[in-house]
Amino acid sequence: MKKTLLIGIIAISLFQAVFVLAEEKINNFDVVVQINTNSTINIEEHINYDFGLANKHGIYRDIPVSYKARGGNYNLRISDIKVVDENNSPYTFSVSSVADGYKRIKIGNANTYVSGQKTYIIKYKIARAINYFQDYDELYWNATGNEWQVSISESSVKVLLPKEIAYKDIKADCFEGSLGSNENCSNINFSTLGQSGTIETIDFSQGFLPSYQGLTIVVGIPKGIITVPSSLTIAADFLKDNLILFLPIIAFIVLFVLWWKKGKDPKGRGVIIAQYDAPDNLTPAEVGTIIDERVNDKDISAEIINLAIRGHLKIRRTEKKILFAKSIDYEFIKIKQGDDLESDFDKKLFKSIFKIIKTRKKLKTWFITQSLKKDILSAIPIRRE
């Protein structure tokens, strides 16, 4: 009975040992962050990854670079990416953008499987990671990321300051756990230099981290050490990050310029005034008769005006005052005798005008007008259907 129990205990222990050995995890995740005076940071990550008994091609390192902040989108700039092993031999890797604002570094060869422990050293530069406040500048950095599907046994971050800074002027803090956690990390250590009490590096460390949990550090340093980008640079970066917000304005400007250059109607010749002449040298009376096949009083009036235009007579406007009223009349003055007129009705009209003026009898005027109408009708051939 005792032997059976002992064998069972040994079997369970061996099973647990094999399970532990087979577990995929990160043994150590150590980060060195160099803060530069030009407001960039250089990062070097040492990841000791244990694949256990699994056969895989490599790992993914997801780095958060896009945030919703400062009144819109805010994107970090990542560059100078290198991936090597502990012997400085390069790994095969590729970089792509993935959902939720991450840059993904895919490390490994599609034709090669790896197992056991592997060391990955990832180096890259980040711009726009510094936050600028009124009294100090701050680095807020998620050092490990929170996207690891495996646990992290131990993690640490060493921050190299851009210069030696007095201890009292430095602010430092760190947090561990899920995204947004305010749980403090295990340890913060300031390395002092001699009796001056200045700080050159700050070390943060954390013990076990379950999957999807990470280590975030915060370091604040006095103003004047880091060069703040110009307003023009900040505005240009904001425009680049939020181009979609300005797309309607940009589209309006482009379309307005195109309309201004090519969308206007031609200037043309200005106002065009229509001018009419009688066709084939016909007189006004002839044209009026052709239109409605009858001679109207307005046709004779038009013919009289035509005689004045051709210089056979002159029409003078006269006014007479009768008490408080005003009487307007027109006086015809003979200029030519009318013998050179081509049509018979023009000759008869011309002579009749001055004959009427002499008699000044309305009845006489009516008979002459009717006679003129008959003469005009007889002189103009009208096609009737």
Residue 60 located in a structural domain: yes
Examine the domain organization and report whether 178 and 317 are in the same domain.
Answer: no
Segment among 27-31, 51-55, 360-364 with least mean pLDDT: 360-364
Average pLDDT for the chain: 83
Examine the domain organization and report whether 201 and 333 are in the same domain.
Answer: no
Examine the domain organization and report whether 187 and 286 are in the same domain.
Answer: no
Parent domain of 288: 279-379
**pTM, entire model:** 0.61
Examine the domain organization and report whether 198 and 285 are in the same domain.
Answer: no
Count of domains in the chain?
2
pLDDT band at residue 299, thresholds of 50, 70 and 90? Answer: confident
Give which of 366, 372, 332 is closest to 348, Cα–Cα: 372
Residue 310 located in a structural domain: yes
* One-letter amino acid for residue 109 of the chain: N
Query: What is the arrangement of strands in the sheet containing 198-206, beginning at the earlier edge strand?
Result: 77-84, 117-127, 40-50, 25-35, 152-166, 198-206, 187-193
Per-residue pLDDT, averaged over 93-120, amounts to: 91
What pLDDT does 380 receive?
A: 54
CB 55, CB 182: distance < 8 Å: no
Residue 249 located in a structural domain: no
Residue 163 located in a structural domain: yes
Examine the domain organization and report whether 73 and 204 are in the same domain.
Answer: yes
Examine the domain organization and report whether 124 and 222 are in the same domain.
Answer: yes
Examine the domain organization and report whether 144 and 211 are in the same domain.
Answer: yes
Between the ranges 182-191, 246-255, 302-311, where is the mean pLDDT highest?
182-191
Examine the domain organization and report whether 307 and 187 are in the same domain.
Answer: no
Examine the domain organization and report whether 207 and 300 are in the same domain.
Answer: no
What pLDDT does 205 receive?
A: 95
Residue 50 located in a structural domain: yes
What pLDDT does 82 receive?
A: 96
Per-residue pLDDT, averaged over 211-222, amounts to: 95
CB 215, CB 155: distance < 8 Å: yes
Q: Tell me the C-alpha distance between 167 and 162, whole Å.
A: 14
**Where residue 36 sits, what CATH number does that domain have?**
2.60.40.1730
Q: Tell me the C-alpha distance between 33 and 198, whole Å.
A: 19
Examine the domain organization and report whether 163 and 41 are in the same domain.
Answer: yes
Residue 47 located in a structural domain: yes
